[in-house]
Every structure is written in structure tokens, then in C-alpha cells.
Amino acid sequence: LFVFLQWLRWPPCSWKAPGQPSPAWASWISSIGITLFPSLQLKAEPFPGLPLAQPFTVRGALGKVRGWRLPRIGRGTCTVLYLHGNAGNMGVDHRVRLYQLLTAKPLSCDVATIDYGGFGQSDGW
């Protein structure tokens, strides 16, 4: 039985310093989950870090919404606003891989992503 826990900020990452990877203990916790529940094929990898990401904050009536802007690598003209849905946070492994794919050549897109209010690094509602 899985219970949705929006307060669980996994993987641990700092929205202020997105270039820093998750602390070493995050790898240990991930390996325990994978070992205990191999049939679930958990993909709870620690945050690898995004050195080029620039944090930003937008204030609203219900608190702060936090996000990252990831600049394109190479020449490009498109911008992607990535809204990740209602689970996890901006630093989840498959999302980080997508940011890297979108910003790299040949796509070379700017990417802006946020954590919704009450999720990840944004204030609750």
C-alpha cells in the first residue's frame, strides 16, 4: 500500500544550490529501498546536481513558489515550461534527465520548472 506523502521531499536537493548533489546518505536510503522491494523496480535515485540551474522564487497570495531556470546549451530559440505533476519535486531523477536532454544540443531549449504550492520546495497552501 502506497500513501501519497507530499511533504516527503525526495530526493533531497537544495533549490538554492541546484548544482549540489544529494548528500551521501540519500544513496544509502535509495539502495535500501531497492534491496527491500526489488519487485517494485524503485527508481528513487539521489539528485545528481544541475550546475547551470538558476533558482528563482515567485511570491503569491498563498506563499512562495520556487523553481529553476536551466539555460540552453548551444544556439536555440525555444523555451519549455515543465510542470511535473503532483508527485515528488523538481529533482526527481527522470525529470533531471529530461532537463538535461531538453537543454542539450540539438534541442537547445531553455527550461523553466517549478514545484507546485505545497510540493517540493514551494510553500504550502
pLDDT digit string (tens) for the chain, length 125 residues: 344 444 455 566 666 777 776 666 666 666 665 556 566 555 556 667 788 889 999 998 888 988 999 999 999 899 999 998 777 788 887 888 899 999 999 999 999 999 888 777 888 76
**Per-residue pLDDT, 39:** 61
Which residues face 71 on adjacent strands?
none
Q: Identify whether the C-beta of residue 56 lies closer than 8 Å to the C-beta of residue 69.
A: yes
**Per-residue pLDDT, 2:** 44
pTM score? 0.70
**Per-residue pLDDT, 22:** 67
Distances in whole angstroms, Cα of residue 98 to Cα of each of 74, 84, 101, 107 = 17, 11, 5, 11
**Per-residue pLDDT, 19:** 76
**Per-residue pLDDT, 96:** 86
- Rounded Cα distance between 12 and 48, Å, is 10
**Per-residue pLDDT, 90:** 85
**Per-residue pLDDT, 7:** 45
Q: In what order do the strands lie in the sheet with 110-114?
A: 54-60, 63-70, 110-114, 79-83
- Rounded Cα distance between 26 and 44, Å, is 9
Q: Helix/strand/coil (H, E, C) string of 34-85?
A: HHHCHHHCCCCCCCCCCCCCEEEEEEECCEEEEEEEECCCCCCCCEEEEECC
